[in-house]
Amino acid sequence: MDTMWLFKYFDQNGSMKRWSMVPVILMLMIGVYALVYQTGGIQFVYSHSMYIPILLSGLVFGSAGGIISGLIGGIILGPFMPLNIETGEMQESIQWLYRTGFFVLIGLFSGVASDAARSYVMKLKWISLHETSTGLPNRIALINEIKKLSMKNNPAGCSHLLIALSLENKIELKAALGFGVIEEAFLQLSRRFSDQNKGNQIFYTDTAQLVILATIYSSKAENFLHEISTISKEPILHNDIRIHVDTRMGYVVFDHISEEPETYLQKAEAALTAAYKQELDSVSYTSDILSETKENLSMLGELKSALSEGQLSLYYQPKIVIATGEVHGAEALLRWHHPERGEILPDVFIPRAEQSTLINLLTEFSLVQAIEQIKRWQEKGIHMPVAVNISPQNLAMPGFGKMVLQYLNHYGISSNMLELEITERGLMLDIERAIGELNQLVDEQLIISIDDFGTGHSSLQYLHRLPVSLIKIDQSFILKLPNDKGAVNIVEAAVTLAHKMGIKVLAEGIENKQIYDYLIKIGCDLAQGFLFSRPLPAEEFERWLIEYKRKTKEKS
């Protein structure tokens, strides 16, 4: 028979329930006394019924309960119970003492067994509520605590705060010092948070996430968050060495529980994801964040099937040589033709894909499509180098360069027909690694250009180390030309500097003749923009090319 439920029952309902068993056990003992008395005395077999309350007592109260009830049972059926009721003959002392000894022994055994089972249940319960290696309460424990909040009255002027805090440099820490350092970091952080405010409850909810649950005066919430953020960034001690930890927070503030407890954790985690995306230290939950996260997930799910169902294709936009007016090449730009949402532009789905490994599949798709197109054009006698946009995540992918070369090789396309565009922001994420990876590709004659130049930070200081042959000045500057003084200064400085380093300059986003004329004047090398053509499907691009060549011939 499974008696676990009994232990669970008493564990979960505490000592109140346990003490409520005392009258039951006493009634049973009195019942046994009455039964033995009514059936003629202790000489008959009914005295064995006393084992029932003794076993029950051991089960409920453990070994101490078993021993005490054994003693009580022995005494009840001892000096107060005759051997034979009819004759009134009393039992000898040795008889009831011997029986009492047995009762105590049985009580002790049942108690010990019950104690062992109870401690086993307690252990199981502890394991279910804790992260075992650190001993910190886990996600289930947190949900239970949030549930408990709904049963309490919130002190006046107070709010609940649920903060999800992640260790941003976990990969670096793990790689350099092993997984133990992550646990060590979380243990030290949780001690700091407990010391900061005794009411803080700390939970280890994920391999790299701590959650703090606190009830504080609403007016002090801002200070509180600031303190948590500050102390979370202080170095931790690992084997007597001070180690830098980089943390980020997402949090939600609420006054009472009106939704499922899990929802609050979900909100704090959604805010943490938003903090990560926006590269902020901490972000407070808003309803937009959750709908954005849901939209992200559903879009990523759809994007994966879009790839296999042929909903994605490349459009091509020409790049023009300013000096001669010739077409220099084309940039391949992804388009998603969604069966219900219509055309989705890359600005909507690329940043989302970049937060998942899906970006690797997308880039591979663009690369293959572009190389196939180069081949198709070559077969038609069109010599058209194509530029493909790559994301920073691609450069970090082991074997990315090799994969590009393998595809070129497979289709028999020479590497100088393919250009890779990488955004300035992407390069700056891990400049040393990017330089290494790009050098390998340049060694194989691939052309590398920096996209959206001017939007990242301080890549100017690295420009001389980057193996690039082209910079593409971001359209946000070009669109403001020629009247915006700031844009003029940046564009002119970029052209001068790049030329000094032997790097060509392309201006993207040229929408009108005025901008184009200005770019001719300052000696920009290449031009791209709606003035020449919008991005077009391959066949339309071919028609545009024929028409463009005809017009330029007419002019000359």
Residues 525 to 544 in contact with ligand C2E, rule: CB under 6 A: 528-530, 535
Select from Mg ion, ligand C2E, none the partner in contact with residue 189, using the beta carbon and a kind-dependent cut-off of 5 to 8 Å.
none
DSSP assignment of 238-255, as one string? Answer: ETTEEE---EEEEEEEES
Select from Mg ion, ligand C2E, none the partner in contact with residue 363, using the beta carbon and a kind-dependent cut-off of 5 to 8 Å.
ligand C2E
Among residues 511, 514, 543, 551, which is the contact residue for ligand C2E, using CB under 6 A? 511
Beta bridge partners of 166: 209, 248
Instruction: Give the x-and-dash track for 119-158 against Mg ion (CB under 5 A).
Output: ----------------------------------------
Interstrand relation of 312-321 and 327-338 (parallel, antiparallel or unpaired): antiparallel
Q: Where are the beta strands (DSSP E) in 301-426?
A: 312-321, 327-338, 342-344, 386-390, 418-423
State the CB neighbour count (10 A cutoff) for residue 360. Answer: 17
3-state secondary structure of 47: helix
User: Tokens representing 534?
Assistant: 């919008």
User: Tokens representing 109?
Assistant: 């055994």
Closer CB to ligand C2E, 459 or 475, in the complex: 475
Instruction: Give the x-and-dash track for 431-470 against Mg ion (CB under 5 A).
Output: --------------------xx------------------
Is residue 477 within 8 Å of 454, Cβ to Cβ? yes
Q: How far is the CB of 235 from Mg ion (least distance, A)?
A: 39
Instruction: Give the x-and-dash track for 396-435 against ligand C2E (CB under 6 A).
Output: -------------------------x--------------
Q: How far is the CB of 317 from ligand C2E (least distance, A)?
A: 6
Region binding ligand C2E by CB under 6 A among candidate stretches 97-105, 199-207, 259-267, 502-510: 502-510
CB-based contacts of 34, cutoff 8 Å, min separation 6: none
Instruction: Give the x-and-dash track for 372-391 against Mg ion (CB under 5 A).
Output: -----------------x--
The dihedral sign for the CA sequence 64, 70, 73, 74: negative
Select from Mg ion, ligand C2E, none the partner in contact with residue 350, using the beta carbon and a kind-dependent cut-off of 5 to 8 Å.
ligand C2E
510 is an interface residue for ligand C2E by CB under 6 A = yes
- What is the C-alpha to C-alpha distance for residues 97 and 46, in angstroms, rounded to an integer? 17
Residues in the chain: 556
Instruction: Give the x-and-dash track for 311-330 against ligand C2E (CB under 6 A).
Output: ------x-------------
- What is the C-alpha to C-alpha distance for residues 332 and 355, in angstroms, rounded to an integer? 22
Q: How far is the CB of 283 from ligand C2E (least distance, A)?
A: 25
Q: How far is the CB of 424 from ligand C2E (least distance, A)?
A: 11
Beta bridge partners of 508: 528
User: Tokens representing 242?
Assistant: 């001070």
Tokens 């005809």 label which residue? 550
Closer CB to Mg ion, 68 or 388, in the complex: 388
Select from Mg ion, ligand C2E, none the partner in contact with residue 366, using the beta carbon and a kind-dependent cut-off of 5 to 8 Å.
ligand C2E
The torsion angles phi and psi of 36, rounded to 5 degrees, stand at: -65, -40
User: Tokens representing 448?
Assistant: 């590398």
Would you tell me which residues interact with ligand C2E (CB under 6 A)? Answer: 317, 333-334, 345-347, 350, 362-363, 366, 389-391, 421, 451-452, 475, 508-511, 528-530, 535
